[in-house]
Structure 1
Amino acid sequence: MSQDTSQLQRTLTPTLLWGLGVGYVISGMYFGWNLGLEKGGTGGMAVATGVVVVMYVCFTLSYAELACAIPKAGGAFDYAGRAMGARGGFMAGMAQNIEFLFAPPAIAAGIGAYLNLFLPQLSPTAIAIGVYLLFTLLNVWGTHIAATFELVVTVVAVAGLLLFAGIALPEMSTTTLTENSLPNGWTGVLAAIPFAIWFFLGIEGLANVAEESINPQRDLTSGFGSAMATLVALCALTFVASVGVAGWDGVVYDASGQPSDSPLPLALQQLVGEGHILYTLVVVFGLFGLVASFHGLLLAAGRSTYEFCRMGNGPAWLGRVHPRFRTPAPALLVNMLIGIAALATRTTADIIVLSAFGALLMYSLSVISFLILRRTEPGLPRPFRTPGYPLVPYLALLISVSSLVALSLFNPQSALIFALIMVGSFVMHRLLPGRRLNTDAV
């Protein structure tokens, strides 16, 4: 394939990478996590979140080493392909594709729910489809433009969370925070895991823009570290402030008794009311947060699909870039169609769980690849080396595999769908004439 149709442009600075890393994830602070309270209550969700934080810190330290040593747009696909061969690369690449394909439609549903507060005449689904079209076109237009936009909306979204915490924390009550904290017992911790993961899901997308970073070996380390530190702090503030003023059920159920995709507005209703200027500001800032993650994950998903297919594991035309904009336009457009289909057929909780399945399998295979490459390629240049080796990667692997098992036990239908997608894609690839599992260029 010619350089004109397969090479991405290097335009991303350390500041833009921080914006992408936080932006990929920040919607998880504004919605989605609250659905875990329905499963585990405050105590169950808090324990699940603590375990997930440990997993993500250990995982990102390990993943940053891989990203700096092998700065390729395929991320986990490239790492697993190099460590475990073509079939391992295929499985990691498909798991990554599933994570990034199903996260955006869940976020789009959140955008629809927030905008519906201002535009009740429009259905949340119609709004979600509209934003899918708009932001896919923005990503097609150009990476630097898309990343700069991401930085701006991310900064606004962070400001919104700080504003919310400033309003809610002085009014929080320890009694409210701890009331009925384990409604489903300790099993609720396991059921809450996918929603705790939603707090941080997507940060690994930084690895997928490695080929577009000006100095990936230096800048990716800074991007992963600064983004993860920011997100852990925001997670703690948002969780305590929300539940502390409204109780866990107050940020799960709306006035009709249905699970809500807008927990922060639910908490603020009890403090200032819907007509207050602070309520309106937090809702508006919440939209910035949702847009930041939606837009950023569209970018990461496009790169994941692009690299996966560029290396011969899918239709070749999905592995090309636009001749003028130098972006993976075909992959972005196909991902949009798949996301809209998911949005129209699954609930937000269902989509989050499917995305979590892909993430946890990808995390597990990535850490296994990390351990294999440490043994088989000790001379591989590693500008960043994971501290605490081997404890850190083994802890990440233990938690991710355990979480995957727990997720399967509590979501058997989604586990079956995920397994069918993984196995079906592998079988279809093997049956297609002229296709091959390929990681030769990794």
Structure 2
Amino acid sequence: MNDPGQGFVTYEKVDSEYFSKRGLKRYAGVWSLWALGVGAVISGDFSGWNLGIQYSGFGGYLVAMFIVTVMYLGLCYSIAEMSTALPHTGGAYSFSRTAMGVWGGFLTGLAENMEYVVTTAVVVYFMGAFLTEIFGTPESFRPVWWAAMYVVFIGINIWGVEATFRFTVVITLLALAILIIFYGGVLFTGKFNLDLALNIAPKNPENSRWFPFGFKGVALALPYAIWLYLAIEQLPLAAEEAIDVKKDMPKGIILGLLTLIITGLGVVFLNVGIGDVEIGEGADFFGKSEAPLLKGYEVVFGTGAATKFLGLLAVAGLIASFHTIIYAYGRNIYSLSRAGYFPKWLSITGEKRKTPHVALISGGVVGF
């Protein structure tokens, strides 16, 4: 029927069979949700965040990070409350639809869909860069790395929600361990040098080493500082797969954000304030690197086989984000399809495993 209040919108009645073909399975507790939130973001600590340094300098980046942190504190406390009041897989889409109607919901859901599909493509690009650096494969081989990663991690997400969340917890803990080893290595070897973090020369006489590009640099660094938190907002997409959404979802979101604040500060300070004459030094080098953490490992631990092995393990951070954001775009496509915004066949779930396999594969094809 037509809804005169919503213009150009039609509604269709569906029976119980429609929803039985689109069911999800509850599994996630608070630590599974924490891992989903942290895992989605943590690749930003491994690469991507650093590219803002070249535009802002060290001090400018710290200001940009502070601004983004305040923004995400507000966002996370808001979605923690809304996810308990509106515990639907749509996440931001369902919040917007409730507040702004069907068109507001659609536009929000579409924007979020684009965010997650594009983010997986960006993360897999950096995975290819890491693997190319570690194994010495030619640049032309990168699409093979990309395709292999999509096939493996879409497969895990299709296999079942238990496999998805168990793998998420393990890979997130491994990624955190890699960061902790790096932090410890920098601190205990005495490699940190604040002068290296400030080695970008001011572009104008009135600017300082802390702010070599002035306030403009702070503004230019904001999109890169977002990498330290980007995608934790996906957590409400797991609402229909959480065991006790009203109790566990807020805890998972807030604990996840606090974890990311700590890891973000650690990597910004310790990855930029190190250097080696042969590899590269300080903010001027790490602000342009595609694999700053890997290069940081080489500075701290050398370039031997052990470092190569640790570098391979460092891919865990990128895998964690890639895997969890695949989960996010799958649930986003599923929810928009189930609501009738996208073609209905995109929201069909498997009879046994209850995962949105069609949505997961479709998003992967677009992302690749």
Q: Smaller-chain TM-score range?
A: 0.7 to 0.9
Q: Does 1:171 align with 2:206?
A: no
State yes or no: 1:203 paired with 2:232: yes
Return the letter of the residue paired with 1:167.
G
Which position in structure 2 is the counterpart of 1:212? 241
AA at the equivalent of 1:319: S
Identify which of 327, 347, 350 aligns with 1:299.
Answer: 327
Shift of 1:284: 2.6
Partner of residue 440, structure 1: none
Partner Cα distance (2:341, 2:127) in 1 = 33
Paired with 2:267 and 2:247, the residues of 1 have a C-alpha distance of: 31
Query: Which of 41, 47, 52 is equivalent to 1:25?
Result: 41
- What is the TM-score when the length of structure 2 is the normalising length? 0.87
In 1, the alpha carbon distance for the partners of 2:109 and 2:176 equals: 31
1:92 aligned to 108, 111, 115, which one?
108
Distance in 2 between the 1:130 and 1:44 partners?
Answer: 38
Cα distance in 2 for residues equivalent to 1:61 and 1:48: 20
The 5-angstrom pairing of residues 312-391 of structure 1 reads: 312-340=340-368
Deviation of 1:281 (Å)? 4.5
Q: Is the 8 A contact 2:185 2:301 kept in 1?
A: no
Q: Of the candidates 284, 298, 304, which is equivalent to residue 249 of structure 1?
A: 284
Q: Distance in 2 between matches of 1:50 and 1:282?
A: 30
**Could you say what secondary structure the match of 2:230 adopts?**
coil
- 1:264 equivalent to 2:293? Answer yes
> 1:304 is matched by which residue type in structure 2?
N
User: Which of 115, 119, 143 is matched with 2:161 structurally?
Assistant: 143
Q: Say which is worse superposed, 148-157 or 2-11, in terms of deviation.
A: 2-11
1:228 pairs, out of 257, 262, 269, with 257
Cα distance in 2 between the residues matched to 1:183 and 1:276: 38
Question: Which residue type is aligned with residue 331 of structure 2?
Answer: R
Q: Is 1:54 paired with 2:70?
A: yes
Q: Distance in 1 between matches of 2:328 and 2:232?
A: 10
Larger radius of gyration between Structure 1 and Structure 2: 2
Unmatched segments (≥5 aa) in structure 1 = 254-259, 341-442
Is this contact kept in 1: 2:134–2:308, CA < 8 A?
no
* SS at 1:10 equivalent: coil
Letter in 1 for 2:160: G
1:120, distance to aligned residue in structure 2 (A): 1.8
Cα deviation for residue 71 of structure 1 reads 0.8
1:153 to 171, 178, 192: 171
Count of matched residue positions in the alignment of Structure 1 and Structure 2: 333
- Secondary structure of the residue that 1:118 maps to in structure 2? helix
Corresponding residue for residue 403 of structure 1: none
Mapped pair 1:310 → 2:338: yes
Q: Deviations over 1:361-415 (max 9, x none)?
A: xxxxxxxxxxxxxxxxxxxxxxxxxxxxxxxxxxxxxxxxxxxxxxxxxxxxxxx
Distance 1:320 1:141 in 2: 15
Instruction: Give me the whole-angstrom Cα distance separating, in 2, the residues matched to 1:105 and 1:214.
Output: 31
Q: How high is the sequence identity, in percent, across the aligned residues?
A: 33
> What code does the residue aligned with 2:186 have?
A
The DSSP-based 3-state class of the residue aligned with 1:327 is coil
Alignment-mate amino acid for residue 78 of structure 1:
S
Q: Measure how far apart 1:280 and its partner are.
A: 2.8
2:180 to 145, 156, 162: 162
TM-score normalized by the length of structure 1: 0.73
> Does 1:6 find its partner at 2:22?
yes
Instruction: Report the RMSD for the aligned CA atoms in angstroms.
Output: 1.4
Structure 2 counterpart of 1:251, one-letter code: F
Q: Distance in 2 between matches of 1:276 and 1:331?
A: 40
Q: Give the CA deviation at 1:204.
A: 1.1
2 CA distance for matches of 1:106 and 1:336? 12
Tell me by how many angstroms 1:276 deviates.
Answer: 5.4
1:186 match: secondary structure: helix
Contact 2:109 2:332 in 1 (8 A): yes
- Offset at residue 121 of structure 1 (A): 2.6
Query: Do the aligned partners of 1:101 and 1:335 also contact (CA within 8 Å) in 2?
Result: yes
CA contact (8 A) 2:172 2:316 kept: yes
Query: Which of 89, 106, 109 is the matching residue for 2:125?
Result: 109
Are 1:129 and 2:147 matched, yes or no? yes
Q: Does 1:287 align with 2:315?
A: yes
How many Å apart are 1:131 and its aligned residue?
0.2
8 Å contact from structure 1 (residues 29, 238) kept in 2 = yes
Q: Alpha-carbon deviation of 1:148?
A: 0.3
Residue number in structure 2 paired with 1:347: none
